[in-house]
């Protein structure tokens, strides 16, 4: 059952979903809406086509979209009519928009916010590629808060593979094209309140490291009231490359109060040492690392 894959999404995820035909796109939209609403979340979909067209497509897929729109569980906006419009796309404004949308969904009693963005408009907007890239990296800070998730739809037919790989690297995980029943997100990042910091689970390499970079860089700003160093918990991490070690070292140096690493696997500690991160090794919690 393909829908089970979407049921596996949890708040905090930010997925780059690549499709290469209309059938895949329609199926992804319908399954996302069904899984999101089914979990008590508000679903917001930015579409390339008109909202009316999207509602018709959803009805054709067996989703009672008119009723969902009526209750407010589903919002459909055409990307061209919003701040995502190519001409005026402002990454910072877009990220702030998601923070407000999340707050509104929670206020309205929803469990969380599920965002589905069809990014096909981006392909035609070459001059906006840098801004889109910055947006996709920065928006991780919203989702790593753990109450919202996003799936960004990218059309493989309209983007060169290198451009797609580059934009995909700003997402913690990538899916598709086509259904893959064994899929699990490559990386999950969640901000934690106790201790204040960030917990990582999964794998980080050059294919998704930028997502971590942006999240780490914004961590102090996103946890402004936390005293002392921020805790980065690596205990759920199955793989981290040298770039991750570099990010931790840089984060320790750059973030006010520094960071403290817990659950550090021995091979990552060895990487930190090779990378010249002697001072962060003092911040590694060895008791937990060897537990």
Partner 1 sequence: MTGFDHIGLLYRDEDEYAAGCAAFLRQALAAEEPAMVAVPGGNGELIRARLGSDAHRVVFRDMSVAGRNPGRIIPSVLLAFLREHAGRRVWIIGEPIWDGRSEIEYPACAQHEALINAVFAGEEAAILCPYDVARLNPEAVADAHRTHPVMQDATGVWDSPAYTDPIETAAAFDVPLPAPPPAAAAYRFEGLRALPALRAFLTREALAAGLGGRRLSEMLIAVNELATNTGEYTDGTGTVTVWTEHGTLVCQIDDGGRIADPLAGRVPPPDHATHGRGLLIAHEFADLVRIHRHSRGTSIRLHFALSPEREPAVRRRTAR
Residue 207 interacting with partner 1 (CB under 8 A): yes
Closest distance to partner 1 from the beta carbon of 98 (Å): 26
Residues 123-162 that bind partner 1 (CB under 8 A): 161
**H/E segment holding residue 73:** none
Q: Return the residue of 53, 81, 82, 267 that touches partner 1, per CB under 8 A.
A: 267
Residue 175 interacting with partner 1 (CB under 8 A): no
The answer to whether residues 249 and 276 touch, using CB atoms and an 8 Å cutoff, is: yes
Q: Return the residue of 171, 203, 218, 283 that touches partner 1, per CB under 8 A.
A: 203
Closest distance to partner 1 from the beta carbon of 130 (Å): 18
Report the largest interatomic distance among the alpha carbons of the chain, rounded to a whole angstrom: 59
DSSP strands (E only) in the chain: 14-19, 42-47, 74-78, 113-118, 148-155, 173-175, 187-192, 197-204, 230-240, 259-262, 284-285
Q: Which is nearer to partner 1, 2 or 206 (CB)?
A: 206
Q: Return the residue of 40, 274, 282, 286 that touches partner 1, per CB under 8 A.
A: 274
Residue 242 interacting with partner 1 (CB under 8 A): yes
Task: Report the distance separating Cα 1 and Cα 67, nearest Å.
Answer: 25
Closest distance to partner 1 from the beta carbon of 242 (Å): 5
Q: Return the residue of 47, 168, 215, 231 that touches partner 1, per CB under 8 A.
A: 168
Give 134's DSSP letter.
H
Strand 259-262 relative to strand 284-285, pairing = parallel
Closest distance to partner 1 from the beta carbon of 246 (Å): 7
Q: Return the residue of 83, 217, 275, 289 that touches partner 1, per CB under 8 A.
A: 275
Backbone angles phi, psi at 278, to 5 degrees: -55, -40
The answer to whether residues 17 and 175 touch, using CB atoms and an 8 Å cutoff, is: yes
The three-state secondary structure class of 88 is helix
Q: Which is nearer to partner 1, 51 or 185 (CB)?
A: 185
Q: Which is nearer to partner 1, 66 or 236 (CB)?
A: 236
How many Cα atoms occupy the beta-carbon half-sphere of 93 within 13 Å? 8
Closest distance to partner 1 from the beta carbon of 171 (Å): 11
Residues that bind partner 1 (CB under 8 A): 161, 165, 168-169, 174, 186, 203, 205-207, 239, 241-243, 246, 249, 265-267, 270-271, 274-276
């Amino acid at each position: 059952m393909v829908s089970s894959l979407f049921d596996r999404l949890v708040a905090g995820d930010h997925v780059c979903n690549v499709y290469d035909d209309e059938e895949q796109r329609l199926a992804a939209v319908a399954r996302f809406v069904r899984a999101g609403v089914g979990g008590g979340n508000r679903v917001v979909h930015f579409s390339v086509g008109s909202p009316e067209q999207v509602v018709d497509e959803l009805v054709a897929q067996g989703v009672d979209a008119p009723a969902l729109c009526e209750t407010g569980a589903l919002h459909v906006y055409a990307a061209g009519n919003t701040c995502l419009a190519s001409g005026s796309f402002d990454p910072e404004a877009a990220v702030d928009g998601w923070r407000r949308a999340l707050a509104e969904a929670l206020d309205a009693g929803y469990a969380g916010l599920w965002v589905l963005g069809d990014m096909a408009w981006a392909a035609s907007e070459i001059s906006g590629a840098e801004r889109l890239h910055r947006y996709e990296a920065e928006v991780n800070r919203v989702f790593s808060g753990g109450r919202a998730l996003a799936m960004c739809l990218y059309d493989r037919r309209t983007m060169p593979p290198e451009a797609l790989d580059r934009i995909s690297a700003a997402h913690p995980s990538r899916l598709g094209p086509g259904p893959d029943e064994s899929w699990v997100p490559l990386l999950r990042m969640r901000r934690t309140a106790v201790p204040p910091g960030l917990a990582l689970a999964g794998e980080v390499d050059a294919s998704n490291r930028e997502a971590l970079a942006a999240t780490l860089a914004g961590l102090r700003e996103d946890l402004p009231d936390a005293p002392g160093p921020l805790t980065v918990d690596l205990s759920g991490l199955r793989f981290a490359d040298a770039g991750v070690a570099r990010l931790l070292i840089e984060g320790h140096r750059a973030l006010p109060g520094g960071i403290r690493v817990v659950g550090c696997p021995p091979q990552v500690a060895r990487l930190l040492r090779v990378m010249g991160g002697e001072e962060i090794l003092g911040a590694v919690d060895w008791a937990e690392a060897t537990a």
